[in-house]
Amino acid sequence: MTSDIPAPHHTVGVRALCEFTAKAGDLDHRFTPTPTARQGVAGHGVVARRRPPGYLAEVSVAGEHGGLRVRGRADGYDPASQRVDEVKTHRGPLDKMPSNHRALHWAQAKVYGWLLCNRFELDAIEVALVYFDISSQSETVVSERHTAHGLRAFFEAQCERFLSWSRQEAAHAGARAESLRALRFPHAGFRAGQRSLAEAVYRAAVARRCLVAQAPTGIGKTVATLFALLKAWPGQSFDKLYFLTAKGSGRTVALDALAQLRSTQPAPALRILELVARISACEHPDKACHGDACPLARGFYDRLPAARRQAIEASVLDREALRTIALEHRICPYYLGQEMVLWADVVVGDFNHYFDINAFLPAIAATHEWRIAVLVDEAHNLLERGRAMYSATLLRSTVQTLRRSAPAALRRPLDRLSRRWRDLLRDRSDACGNHSAAPDRFAATLRDVCAAITDHLAEQPEQADANLLAFHFEALHFLRLVELLDDHSIVDTTVEPAPVGRRRRTPDLALNLRNLVPAPHLRARFAAADACVLFSATLTPFSFHADMLGLPKTSAYLDVDSPFAPDQLTVRIADRLSTRYRDRESSLTAIVDVMAQQVAAAPGNYLAFFSSFEYLEQAIERLSERHAGIAVWAQSRGMTAIERDSFLAHFTEGSSGIAFAVLGGSFAEGIDLPGRRLVGAFVATLGLPPPSAVNETLRVLLEATFGAGYAYTYLYPGIQKVIQAAGRVIRSEHDRGVVYLLDERFARAEVRRLLPRWWSVERIAVSSARLDDAPTSSTINARQLSAPR
Ligand code: SF4
């Protein structure tokens, strides 16, 4: 049977439709005191509870025009008075709201008005904008009476403006699905381990499970995981694929892998977008994001449609391409990037873009009810990054500085906050500065300060001083975390070095809210993904990552066999040496002698990893005293990108020497020195985090929660760093090398179990005492000191 009514070719939410058709004028991210999502939901609840019996909240509605289906949930409808409420929560005076925001609200309200007229067969309806002030809990209602006829005409006009775009999107979705079904792997064959990884990713996507995959470096994890999820896409009807990385270099690797996939025939119809942080994309870092300050915010929405059209045609919007298009149309590249998330297929971004408390990617996915697939690259970094995202620090010096320049309206609240710092010192419950709970009086005063800043900025937006804004956002972030405070986080006070530039160098005081276990925060993000794959070369034990990150109970795990043969890497454990703090002085000579003898036996470039800069400097000094002929170069604190490049430039095919670096630092993972550029590594530390008040609190918490306090706090994070660092040596089937693990604890069964299965480990007898007695000789069997095979 056929019908004259065209089947809907595209479905769009009311909000998305109106944002596309009714947004005009300036971008305005001047501080608008936007309530949090939680406050917004609570505000909607208050409004609904105030309405009379019979009031309908959250009414699902849908309508069609020209093959476009529009759906959404009206905030509230009162059948008795035939009024639809579009509720907007806010803070501060309404007359400061930009007129284009108000116009957008009316567009949404009128579309809901028509959809309700349609559903309840009404001839007319009262359309109301209800502005709910979350500070005063008061409502401001503006309403208009509209006929169904007029609202229908408005609705159809919006749909018409969206239709040609919508048809183009429907055509793209069809082409994308067809091309992904035909997608071919970009290489002649899979490498060892690559196929099993790709198959596991595909199976997990089909089963809608989270997959945690440990796979060695060098097998092509990025292209394998992307290929598998893209193949699964048509069957699973994904809307977006988010590829998340811990570092900028990871984004480059992902974009390269996508370029390989796009080079296959037939080429997949994919739109790819790279997201970077605002601080990297902003063209006017000294300005605020509104039309009165930044030229790229002025008229943003008026020029957006043309920029968007051009951006869609580009297919690959990496950072440079996006910037070029944005500047051509005189709009902000950062906010154009956010807009293009709506229309991209694959978004390559940072962990923060998805896991942070205010992350944009999960929020937009939830708003549009997308089905998303998520790839988390170098996932072993997510624990530390997750902790950082859900931690916050406030410095007393920031408040003191602000007090001096603050406008009169803010001085008294800031004074009160200064006094609270003194209370904090008194309230400490123990010597290390831990507070038994969030300091309530401090938080209450901080809330007052934030409210005062909010009011001030709403009244005097032109006085949006950068320092004041920065403090305001820091304070709001801190308060949000206080609201979420539970056993997973602690609050403490620490004494910090005095701020640079102060005449009186009195130490500073910091109030820290430290997340210890990010699982409670990250769990919902994993649950929101239709498919999620975490991968890395170091993810064992899986239970550790599952517990600490909050992975779903149904997660699948895969440990891909290494493609490397045991004879490619000689691993030697010096099982009579100790690098414990108390033993460092006595073992240092033996350590540098082992290093020197290995370089003499097999000249080439080596990396030597130590636990701290101080230890590293001592080792260089001792090596130089005893083996002056060996070339050395070293990592230093806070190296710039140029300095890091120059450090790596020492590793040439023909050079020989030892590069000293800190375990867990920028040369301990993510660097690639294939072939003769790196032939070995010395690791003179287990990488255990130093015992501290915070780590001991963590240990107790993890013992109570998971029964694995020491392992989860110290051992697993430490050995993970060791394996990452040692993993620099073998990067391909052609590499040969040697790794020295210079501490007797590496020989213990519980540590050996954590080392990669393919490593063939041998013990060497080298001890501090014997080497100290005979400084130029060694107890190492000469046969063991051979060139890397
Ligand atoms: S260029 Fe910078 S200041 Fe201007 S709107 Fe973009 S992010 Fe804001």
Q: Which one-letter DSSP state was computed for residue 426?
A: H
d(CA 82, CA 751): 70
Please tell me the predicted confidence (pLDDT) of residue 777: 32
Q: Does the pLDDT of residue 788 top 50, yes or no?
A: no
User: Does residue 619 sit in helix, strand or coil?
Assistant: helix
Distance from the CA of 102 to the center of ligand 1, in angstroms? 22
The whole-number pLDDT of residue 633 equals 97
Average pLDDT over residues 347-358: 96
Band (pLDDT 50/70/90 cuts) for residue 262 is very high
pLDDT number for residue 503: 62
Mutate to test the pocket of ligand 1, among 286, 332, 473 (most ligand atoms within 8 A of CB): 332
Residue 616 near ligand 1, beta carbon < 6 Å: no
Q: In which band, very low, low, confident or very high, does the pLDDT at 365 lie, cut at 50, 70 and 90?
A: very high
Instruction: Please tell me if the CB atom of residue 294 comes closer than 6 angstroms to any atom of ligand 1.
Output: yes
Q: Is the CB of 331 under 6 A from ligand 1?
A: no
Query: From ligand 1's centre to the CA of 334, what distance in Å?
Result: 7
Query: Given a cut of 70, is residue 32 above it in pLDDT?
Result: no
* 283 ligand 1 Cβ < 6 A: yes
pLDDT at 370 over 90: yes
CA angle, residues 384, 390, 396, in degrees to nearest 5 = 110
Question: Distance from the CA of 288 to the center of ligand 1, in angstroms?
Answer: 7
What's the pLDDT score for residue 308? 95
- For residue 5, is pLDDT > 50? no
Give the Å distance between the CA of 337 and the centre of ligand 1: 12
pLDDT in tens, 6-25: 555 688 899 989 999 998 89
Looking at residue 290, what DSSP letter applies? B
> How deeply is 569 buried, as exposed, middle or buried, from its count of CB atoms within 10 A (0-12, 13-18, 19+)?
buried
Structure-token pair, residue 741: 């693990």
For residue 464, the model assigns a pLDDT of 66
Identify the H or E element spanning 740. Answer: strand 737-741
Establish whether residue 469 lines the binding site of ligand 1, counting it when its CB lies within 6 angstroms of any ligand atom.
no
pLDDT tens across 159-217, in order? 999 998 989 998 999 999 999 999 999 998 888 889 999 999 999 999 999 999 999 88
State whether the beta carbon of 278 lies less than 6 angstroms from ligand 1: yes
pLDDT > 80? residue 535: yes
693-714 pLDDT per residue, tens: 889 999 999 999 999 999 999 9
Q: Give the Å distance between the CA of 443 and the centre of ligand 1.
A: 31
First to last CA, the chain: 74
Identify which of 26, 28, 279, 287 to mutate to test ligand 1's pocket (most ligand atoms within 8 A of the CB).
Answer: 287
Q: How far apart are CA 147 and CA 299, in angstroms?
A: 33
Write down the mean pLDDT value for the chain: 89
Average pLDDT over residues 293-298: 92
Instruction: Encode pLDDT of 452-491 as tens digits.
Output: 887 787 677 666 677 888 899 899 999 999 988 888 898 8
Q: Looking at ligand 1, which residue's alpha carbon is closest to its atom 7?
A: 282
**pLDDT for position 244:** 98
Q: Which of 242, 205, 227, 201 is nearest to 345 (CA)?
A: 242
> What pLDDT is recorded for position 774?
35
Helices and strands in the chain, H and E counts? 28, 25
Q: Which of 296, 323, 338 to mutate to test the pocket of ligand 1 (most atoms within 8 A of CB)?
A: 296
Length reported for the chain: 789
pLDDT band at 767 (very low <50, low <70, confident <90, very high): confident
> What is the per-residue pLDDT for 504?
62
The two structure tokens encoding residue 256: 């390269």
Measured from the Cα of 297, ligand 1's closest atom is 5
Predicted confidence at residue 2, as pLDDT, reads: 38
Residue nearest to atom 5 of ligand 1 (CA): 289
Closest by CA position to 7, among listed 173, 236, 167 = 167
Q: Tens digit of pLDDT for each residue in 412-436?
A: 999 999 888 887 777 665 444 566 5
If you average pLDDT over residues 387-397, what whole number do you get?
Answer: 95
Count Cβ neighbours within 10 Å for each residue of 434-469 and write b for 16 or more, e otherwise.
bbeebbeebbebbeebbebbbbbbbeebeebbeebe
Read off the pLDDT band of 36 (50, 70, 90). Answer: low
pLDDT band at 288 (very low <50, low <70, confident <90, very high): confident
Helix (H), strand (E) at residue 73: strand 68-78
pLDDT-based confidence at 293, cuts 50/70/90?
Answer: confident
Residue 490 Cβ contacting ligand 1 at under 6 Å: no
Partners of 242 in the β-ladder: 347, 374
Of all atoms in ligand 1, which is nearest to the CA of residue 295? 4
Kindly give the number of the ligand 1 atom that is closest to the alpha carbon of 281: 7
**pLDDT of amino acid 255:** 96
* CB of 287 shorter than 6 A to ligand 1: yes
Average pLDDT over residues 673-679: 92
pLDDT score of 346: 98
In whole angstroms, what is the distance from residue 619 CA to residue 314 CA? 53
pLDDT band at 438 (very low <50, low <70, confident <90, very high): low
Ligand 1 centroid–CA 300 distance in Å is: 11
Residue 297: CB within 6 Å of ligand 1?
yes
Closest CA to 212 of 444, 449, 555, 495: 555
Name which residue leads in pLDDT, 378 or 455: 378
40: confidence class by pLDDT, cuts 50, 70, 90: confident
Whether residue 348 contacts residue 272, with contact meaning beta carbons closer than 8 Å, is answered with yes
The residue contributing the CA closest to ligand 1 atom 6 is 332
pLDDT given for residue 496 in this prediction: 79
- C-alpha of residue 267 to centroid of ligand 1, in Å: 35
The pLDDT, as a whole number, for residue 422 is 81
Inform me whether the pLDDT recorded for 144 exceeds 60. yes
- Looking at residue 230, what is its pLDDT? 97
Residues 121-140: pLDDT tens digits? 999 999 999 999 887 899 99
Q: How far apart, in Å, are the Cα atoms of 403 and each of 244, 378, 457, 503? A: 40, 43, 16, 17
Q: How confident is the model at residue 357 (pLDDT cuts 50, 70, 90)?
A: very high
